[in-house]
């Protein structure tokens, strides 16, 4: 990951609704959640939700797939890990294992990535 990609990802999360969406998707696990369920749970109108999901998808932090007439969104755990690694790669005065142990422990409690899927490019 480079500075530009990190800034794009952090900017996507630097908004309250998008951060809430992302946290819900991380909690949901690799299978993800349909856009309708995300909107219902967070009480976000469809047009607003579509805008925020597009921003998260553009950042690479969220993947989506279409099944029939539903679009399912899920956290991109590899991108999340890449961002966390980028943010901590030079930490602890050249001893990143001190920081990374904490991060890896936190990630270990999270869902492991599911089978790789190619994200679809369909509209919300």
* Adjacency order of strands within the sheet including 70-75: 33-34, 70-75, 62-67
DSSP state of 113: P
Q: 100: exposed, middle or buried (C-beta count within 10 Å: 0-12, 13-18, 19+)?
A: middle
Domain boundaries, the chain: 3-108
Chain position carrying tokens 């109108």? 45
- What are residue 89's phi and psi, to 5 degrees? -65, -25
Mean pLDDT of 47-62: 96
The mean pLDDT value of the chain amounts to 84
pLDDT > 70? residue 57? yes
Report the predicted TM-score, pTM, of the whole model to 2 decimal places.
0.77
CATH number for region 3-108: 1.10.10.10
Comparison of pLDDT for 36 and 94, the residue scoring more:
36
Residues 99-118 pLDDT 10s: 666 656 566 655 555 444 44
The per-residue pLDDT for 112 is 53
The DSSP bridge partners found for residue 67 are 70
């Amino acid at each position: 990951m480079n500075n530009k990609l990190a800034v794009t990802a952090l900017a996507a999360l630097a908004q309250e609704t998008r951060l809430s969406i992302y946290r819900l998707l991380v909690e949901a696990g690799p299978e993800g959640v349909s856009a309708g369920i995300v909107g219902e749970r967070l009480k976000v109108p469809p047009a607003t939700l579509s805008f925020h999901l597009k921003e998260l998808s553009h950042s690479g932090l969220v993947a989506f797939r279409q099944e029939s007439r539903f679009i399912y969104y899920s956290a991109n755990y590899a991108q999340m890990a890449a961002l966390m690694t980028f943010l901590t790669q030079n930490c602890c005065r050249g001893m990143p294992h001190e920081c990374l142990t904490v991060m890896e422990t936190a990630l270990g409690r999270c869902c492991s990535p599911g089978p790789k899927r190619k994200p679809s490019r369909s509209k919300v």
